[in-house]
Structure 1
């Protein structure tokens, strides 16, 4: 089947084209859309592109960081001001994938991919989108819950608060092939501290449900407590609550449930 390519100069024009054509998909880095086309996905008849510099803009000058949806992981790794995002960016594929893959595209990556989105979920990111309803900001958790219904929506940017210290944000990806393999599990933790106690804990997991999810029971175990051995053990014990991992070639659901608490304990303890 022939595929039509439409290129626009502005993101708003591209968003209009997406919202008016259910068979249209946006082409950013191409790591998802081109793979689908090469595998014969007949649901895509139109590919939409936009040469809008706003989509590749990075604003990392203040306490809140904004990444255009078209920012690649290679660019993140080149920015000193984004050091807290270097570990999740580096965990995305190999150099070729990091040179092409984008922040916006990663939001749509299916399990066992989408590792950068795990980090964004832990950082309580906001996703700026535009569609037939106009432009709006959506909390990342809400966006992910409705991800399968986002086909006619263009992601413009993602923003999050910069962690107060290097210890406040932690990330770990477990893969059989490093660094470019699919995720067995991915974990990220944002642990703001006030008065020596955790205030506003967020733990995010990848490959433990159909989309990236928060480990709310683990968060409750951490909230208001100091990060000592007992607190870490309680959070690790609660890590599987609310999860629904699946079996795939990288690992079984049983295996994922067995190891997620182990790796959460190591993450919170600062172990390599």
Structure 2
């Protein structure tokens, strides 16, 4: 079946083209859409592209970092101001994938992929979405919960907070093939401290549900407490609470539930994986 390619400059035109055609898909870096096309996905008859340069911009100078949806992971790795996101960007595929894959596209990657999104979720991520309602910001957690119902909306940018210190943010991806394999589990923890106690803990997990999720039981175990062995053990015990992993070729759901607490304990303790 032939596929029509439509290119627009204005983001509103892109959103309109997507909303008016249920068989249309947006093409960014192509790591998801081109795979589906090459595998014979007949539900896609139109590919929509955008040339608006705002999709490629990065504002990394403030307390809250804003990254255009079309920014690649290779570009993230080239930005010194985004050093706290380098471990997450480096964990995405190999060099070829990082040169093509985009920050916006990663929001739609199904488990066991979407690792960069896990980092953004732990860093209070917001998604700028262009649709028939205009441009608005959505909390990343809300976006992920409604992702499959976002037909006709275009992700324009993502933003996240900058960790106040180097040890306030921690990220780890557990995979069988390093560094580019799919995720067995991905973990990200933002654990800022004030007066020796954790304040505003945000913990995110990948491959523990259909999308990245907050580990809210872990957050409750950490909040207001010193990040010591007792607190970390309590957090690790709550790691599988509220999760819904599935079986796949990388690991079973049972295995993921068994080891997520082990890896969370290591992450929070600063141990090597």
**TM-score normalized with structure 2 length:** 0.98
For residues 61-80 of structure 1, the aligned pairs below 5 Å read 61-80=61-80
Q: After superposition, give the CA deviation of every residue in 1:12-37 in whole Å (9 maximum; x if it has no partner).
A: 22111111111111000000000011
Match of 1:167, SS state, is helix
Match of 2:36, SS state, is helix
Match of 2:245 in 1: 245
Match of 1:109, SS state, is coil
Tell me, yes or no, if structure 1 residue 24 matches structure 2 residue 24.
Answer: yes
Q: Which moves more between the two structures, 231-240 or 193-202? A: 193-202
For residues 1-272 of structure 1, the aligned pairs below 5 Å read 1-272=1-272
Match of 1:135, SS state, is strand
Q: Structure 2: any 5+ residue segments left out of the alignment?
A: none
Deviation at 1:154, TM superposition (A): 0.4
| CA distance in structure 1 between the partners assigned to 2:17 and 2:104 by the alignment | 18
* Pairwise CA RMSD: 0.7
Deviation at 1:143, TM superposition (A): 0.0
Q: Structure 1: any 5+ residue segments left out of the alignment?
A: none
CA contact (8 A) 1:18 1:131 kept: no
Q: After superposition, give the CA deviation of every residue in 1:6-58 in whole Å (9 maximum; x if it has no partner).
A: 01112222111111111111000000000011111111111000111100000
Match of 2:41, SS state, is coil
Match of 2:98, SS state, is helix
| CA distance in structure 2 between the partners assigned to 1:118 and 1:90 by the alignment | 13
| Number of equivalenced pairs | 272
Deviation at 1:271, TM superposition (A): 0.8
Match of 2:204, SS state, is strand
Q: After superposition, give the CA deviation of every residue in 1:207-248 in whole Å (9 maximum; x if it has no partner).
A: 001111011101100000010000000000100000010000
| CA distance in structure 2 between the partners assigned to 1:175 and 1:131 by the alignment | 36
CA contact (8 A) 1:25 1:151 kept: no
**TM-score normalized with structure 1 length:** 0.99
| CA distance in structure 1 between the partners assigned to 2:152 and 2:266 by the alignment | 40
Deviation at 1:263, TM superposition (A): 0.2
| CA distance in structure 1 between the partners assigned to 2:43 and 2:134 by the alignment | 25
| CA distance in structure 2 between the partners assigned to 1:26 and 1:89 by the alignment | 22
| CA distance in structure 1 between the partners assigned to 2:197 and 2:238 by the alignment | 19
| CA distance in structure 2 between the partners assigned to 1:173 and 1:257 by the alignment | 15
Deviation at 1:166, TM superposition (A): 0.8
| CA distance in structure 2 between the partners assigned to 1:62 and 1:95 by the alignment | 28
